[in-house]
A and B are shown apart, each in its own frame.
Chain A
Amino acid sequence: MEALSHIFPSQDYALLGVILALPLLGAIGNGIFGKRLGKEAVTLMGLSAVGVPFLFALASFCLLACHGEGEHTTTSLTWTAWHWLELQGSGAGVANFRSISLDVAFRMDPLSGVMSLVITGIGFLIHLYSSKYMEEDPGYHRFFAYLNLFIFSMLVLVLGDSLPILFVGWEGVGLCSYLLIGFWFTEEANAAAGKKAFITNRVGDFGLLVAMGLLACYVGALDWTGIEAGREALLSPVKVWPVSDSVPIAGVLPQSWAEFLNAPRYLDPATLVCLALFLGAMGKSAQLGLHVWLPDAMAGPTPVSALIHAATMVTAGVYLLCRLSPVFVLSPLAMFIVALFGALTALFAATIALVQNDIKKVLAYSTVSQLGFMFLGVGVGAFEAGFFHVLTHAFFKACLFLGAGSVIHAMHARIHDTNASQDMRNMGGLRAFMPGTFMTFVAAWAAIVGLPLTSGFWSKDEILFKAKTSFVTAPAELRGHSPTGPVAIDTFVWTEGMGTALYLIGLTAAILTAFYMTRLLLGTFFGEFKGWTITPGWTDPHAAHGHGEDDHGHDDHGHDDHAHHAHEEPGPSMQGPTPHESPWQMTLPLWILGGLAVAAGFLNAHAIHVAPLGHFLEPVFTTASKSVASHEGAEGFLWVGMAAAVLVAFGGGVGFAYWVYVQMKGVPAAEWTAKFPGVHAFLRDKWRVDEFYQETIIGAVDSLAEMCVWADKYIVDGILARFTAGLTQVLGTILRQFQTGRVQAYSAVMTLGMFGVAAFLWSPQASVREQVDERAGTYALAAAPGLGFSYRWDVDGKEGWDGEYGAAKAAHFKLDVGEERTVKVAVKNAFAVESEKVFTYVRPRPDLSRPAGSVEGPTRIVKGEDGKLRAGGGPSEPGAATGRPSPTGPDMEALKRAMERQRKEDE
Chain B
Amino acid sequence: MELGLVVEHYVLLASAIFAIGAIGFLMRRNVLVQLMCIELMLNSVNLTLVAFNRRHHGDMNGQMFAFFIIAVAAAELAVGLAIVLQFYRLRGSVHSDEASSLRH
Contact = CB atoms under 8 A, between A and B. Distances in A.
Q: Do chains A and B touch in the complex (CB under 8 A)?
A: yes
B58 to A, nearest CB: 25
A747 B37 CA distance: 13
Interface centre among A737, A744, A748, A751 (most CB of B within 10 A): A744
B7 to A, nearest CB: 16
A743 interface: yes
A741 B26 contact: no
B33 to A, nearest CB: 12
Contact of A743 (B22, B99, B104): B99
B3 interface: no
B1 interface: no
B100 A742 contact: yes
B27 to A, nearest CB: 8
B56 interface: no
A744 B100 contact: no
A171 B40 CA distance: 87
Interface string B1-45: 000000000000000000000100110010000100000000000
Given A747-B25, A748-B26, A740 B103 contact: yes
A742 B26 contact: no
Given A742-B97, A743-B96, A744-B96, A751 B26 contact: yes
Contacts of A736: 104
B50 to A, nearest CB: 23
Contacts of B104: 736-737, 739, 741
Nearest to B31: A743
Contacts of B34: 744
Nearest to A740: B103
Contacts of B100: 740-742
Interface in B51-104: 96-97, 99-104
A741 B96 contact: no
Interface in A727-746: 736-737, 739-744
A704 B29 CA distance: 66
Contact of B99 (A741, A748, A751): A741
Contacts of B103: 739-742
Contacts of B25: 744, 747
Secondary structure at the A interface, as helix, strand, loop or mixed, is: helix
A153 to B, nearest CB: 66
A741 B22 contact: no
Nearest to B102: A741
A743 B84 CA distance: 14
A754 to B, nearest CB: 10
Interface in A694-744: 736-737, 739-744
B73 to A, nearest CB: 17
A741 B103 CA distance: 4
A737 B104 CA distance: 8
A742 B25 CA distance: 12
A739 B102 CA distance: 7
Given A747-B25, A748-B26, A751-B22, A742 B96 contact: yes
A740 to B, nearest CB: 6
A737 B25 CA distance: 22
Contacts of B26: 744, 747-748, 751
A737 B26 CA distance: 18
Interface string A475-492: 000000000000000000
A573 B82 CA distance: 105
Contacts, number: 30
A742 B34 CA distance: 13
Interface string A152-178: 000000000000000000000000000
A747 B101 CA distance: 16
A744 B96 CA distance: 8
A574 to B, nearest CB: 80
Contacts of B22: 751
A749 to B, nearest CB: 11
A751 B96 CA distance: 18
Interface string A744-761: 100110010000000000
A886 to B, nearest CB: 61
A751 B29 CA distance: 17
A740 B96 CA distance: 12
A736 B102 CA distance: 11
Contacts of B101: 741
A751 B25 CA distance: 11
Contacts of A748: 26
A740 B100 CA distance: 7
Nearest to A737: B104
Contacts of A741: 99-104
B99 to A, nearest CB: 6
A751 B26 CA distance: 10
Nearest to B100: A741
A739 B104 CA distance: 6
A422 to B, nearest CB: 74
Nearest to B97: A742
Contacts of A751: 22, 26
B29 to A, nearest CB: 8
Nearest to A736: B104
B86 to A, nearest CB: 15
Contacts of A742: 96-97, 99-100, 103
Interface string A422-466: 000000000000000000000000000000000000000000000
Contacts of B99: 741-743
Contacts of A747: 25-26
B83 to A, nearest CB: 12
Interface centre among A736, A737, A740, A741 (most CB of B within 10 A): A741
A739 B99 CA distance: 12
A742 B102 CA distance: 8
Contacts of B29: 744
Contacts of B96: 742-744
Contacts of A744: 25-26, 29, 34, 96
A741 B25 CA distance: 16
A747 B29 CA distance: 13
A742 B99 CA distance: 6
A742 B27 CA distance: 12
B100 to A, nearest CB: 3
A748 B104 CA distance: 18
Contacts of A737: 104
A740 B103 CA distance: 5
B5 to A, nearest CB: 24
Interface in A101-147: none
Interface centre among B29, B97, B104 (most CB of A within 10 A): B104
A743 B35 CA distance: 12
A748 to B, nearest CB: 5
Contacts of A739: 102-104
Nearest to A733: B104
B42 to A, nearest CB: 15
A761 B29 CA distance: 32
A485 B97 CA distance: 91
Nearest to A735: B104
Nearest to A738: B104
A744 B95 CA distance: 12
A309 B100 CA distance: 81
A740 B104 CA distance: 7
Nearest to B103: A741
Nearest to B25: A747
A741 B101 CA distance: 6
A744 to B, nearest CB: 6
A206 B86 CA distance: 81
B93 to A, nearest CB: 14
The 8 A-B pairs at the shortest CB distance, nearest first, are namely A741-B103, A741-B100, A741-B102, A739-B104, A736-B104, A742-B100, A748-B26, A744-B26
11 contacts: A736-B104, A740-B103, A741-B99, A741-B102, A741-B104, A742-B96, A742-B97, A743-B99, A744-B29, A747-B25, A747-B26
Interface of B: 22, 25-26, 29, 34, 96-97, 99-104
Given A736-B104, A739-B104, 8 more contacts: A737-B104, A739-B102, A741-B101, A742-B96, A744-B26, A744-B34, A744-B96, A751-B26
